[in-house]
Structure 1
Amino acid sequence: AEDARALLGGLARAEARVKAAAGEAQPLRIGFVSAALSAAVPDLLRGLSAGGLPTPQLQEMTTPQQLEALESGALDVGLLHPPARRLEGFEVRPLGRDPFWAALPSDHRLARRRALRFAEIAREPFILFPKAQGPALRETIKALAKDAGATLGVVAEAARAHSQLSLVAGGLGVGLVTRTTAAQLTIRGVTVVPLKDTAERLFVELHLLAEPQTVRRLSAFVPRSRRGSSGTGP
């Protein structure tokens, strides 16, 4: 079944290349995880517009959904999280990492600190994204709490950063937000404090996945971020 799906996907992509060679400008079909909304998707839209290319068809999808759609030929480009299984005929382009910082109620005893160690918030009640949305990342947070001698306590879950921060503002607990999101999204009653000891373990990473010629075509529009930079967010 997988071989048949890959074959059909290859035929669909070949048909798209034939149309492009014939001068039929086809809009790119782009899937993206929510993390790509902070920078990668806006950069891509501006670049395609400046290049006079058709407005792409955009769809928010999980990483597994994008992999399936890319393989079947239903998508041209994926903006997704690693680790992702390798797809034959596709090229991966890392777009960078975005570290997580602590989001605290503004009246929290630690909110005035310039930076924190994760151990200082490990025993706090947490408001996080659903586990199904990022199982590997949730396991990392759980491991960080364990390393600090604590058991991760999650009192609420919300899929969107805005929803998570709103619950933090209400004093329900503390949260985690990427540096990019913290710079773009301000919620009254929430103070964001950098975490100084988790940059190598607690981050969001984004990859662009497409056929090699498409990756080269889009490279100028989505700059590669340096490791630890704020190029992407959840």
Structure 2
Amino acid sequence: MPLAGCYKDLAITACMMADVDISPEDKERHCHEAIDAALEALRIYRVQSNPAEYAETQTLLWAAYSALAEVDGRAESCKRAIYACQAAIRVYDKISPGEKAYAQKNLAHSFIALAEMEKHSENCQSAIEAWQDALEYYTEERAPMEHADILRGLAYAYILLSREEPEEEVWLKKALKCYKKALPIYQQREREMAGMEGPAAHEAGERAESCRRSLQSCRAMIKARRKQKTEQLQKKEENGK
């Protein structure tokens, strides 16, 4: 399959170019180049005969559509990214648990991006399901940092969901629980990297601090929500007198 491989390589190169800090116009052009190349490769690769290559190309298609959504802001681009990621997951489910879990993380991010565009609680729920599935592979023992990152993602999804669903405090409490689980993992990593130099050590400190701030913000939201409910009840009682 030399021709399919060439198309896949073109898609990889175009995706890499789209990730470079360039103008929105250039990024959009590279995204379309990656999409066109990936689609050409998928005309040749077949699930039955080339499962790994097929899934890899679908993942490239996901990356290209995800990058395009960042530029054009269209829900349709996000949805196409989701379809490509789901196609990859169906294949990885049979051949690679690790790649499947990684793709599930990608899927969750795409559903969150779509939720931010469309404000639909169903997208948040889908992101939560994808992250929970990924956690089955990314356990704290096997991959502590990935585990903590997913917990933070779950927390953010719960916060978004709290804005769309009734019983807001219930979702905020779920978010707080995730932050509380993630923070000690980040702090442990920060302690392990203490005294070291380089981007990895800096990133460990940033992740711990970011999670700590998010946890504090979540607590503040719960407190504000409780105060609001108390004031509403008091006002209702006063009006009933």
Normalised by the shorter chain, which TM-score bucket? Answer: under 0.3
What TM-score comes out, normalization by structure 2 length?
Answer: 0.25
Higher RCO, 1 vs 2 (CA within 8 Å, ≥6 residues apart): 1
More strand per residue: 1
More helix per residue: 2
